[in-house]
């Protein structure tokens, strides 16, 4: 828990933001700016990583999903605990997710925040839908920290929290 508090405090301390630095899916944008580009990039990455997640019953798709994460990714889940490696996180995904449910981004909730000289913070709400029934019965908040290096993006930290029933 101390590591999580330190992580959040550090992220808040090193990321000075202004209202113009945050864009959500519902924003009306009439001019191009680096932040517009960042939002579009993060939205595309979110779509790609969770498209593979939703098809992870296929070994190729599970491997594709894994490729988005740094080997030393930290994954904080309020109900499942903490994993400290990509290998452990993917093992949990294989065991608990694949073939059971899919993830959907709740429209209009995605936000992207730049992290100077590092990458971006993605924030939003997602819901989980059971394959067996098609019913979307869970909601949660999430934060993903993306690192950008040499034209490549990788997830270094994930927080998935406030899991609750979908009303």
Q: What is the CATH number of the domain that holds 55?
A: 3.10.450.50
Extract the residue ranges of the chain whose pLDDT is less than 70: 1-35
> Which one, of 50, 56, 148, lies nearest residue 96 by Cα?
56
Q: What is the pTM for the complete model shown?
A: 0.80
Is residue 4 situated within a structural domain? Answer: no
- Residue 36 is predicted with a pLDDT of 81
Is residue 123 situated within a structural domain? Answer: yes
Is residue 24 situated within a structural domain? Answer: no
- Residue 35 is predicted with a pLDDT of 58
- Residue 67 CA to chain centroid, in angstroms? 14
Close Cβ partners of 113 (under 8 Å, ≥ 6 residues apart): 15, 17, 21, 22, 120, 121, 122, 123
Enclosing domain of residue 75: 34-165
- Residue 106 is predicted with a pLDDT of 98
SS3 118: coil
Cα dihedral 86→108→36→12 (10° resolution)? -60
Whether residue 48 contacts residue 132, with contact meaning beta carbons closer than 8 Å, is answered with no
- Residue 167 is predicted with a pLDDT of 75
């Amino acid at each position: 828990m101390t590591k999580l508090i330190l992580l959040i405090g550090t992220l808040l301390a090193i990321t000075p933001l202004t209202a113009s630095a945050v864009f959500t899916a519902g924003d009306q944008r009439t001019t191009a700016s680096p932040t517009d580009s960042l939002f579009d990039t993060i939205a595309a990455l979110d779509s790609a990583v969770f498209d593979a997640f939703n098809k992870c019953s296929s070994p190729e798709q599970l491997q594709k999903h894994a490729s988005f994460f740094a080997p030393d990714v930290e994954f904080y889940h309020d109900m499942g605990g903490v994993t400290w490696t990509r290998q452990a996180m993917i093992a949990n995904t294989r065991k608990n997710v694949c073939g059971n449910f899919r993830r959907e981004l709740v429209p209009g909730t995605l936000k992207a925040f730049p992290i100077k000289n590092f990458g971006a913070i993605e924030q939003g709400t997602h819901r989980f839908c059971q394959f067996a029934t098609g019913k979307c019965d869970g909601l949660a908040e999430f934060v993903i920290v993306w690192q950008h290096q040499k034209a490549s993006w990788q997830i270094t930290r994930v927080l998935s929290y406030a899991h609750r029933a979908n009303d």
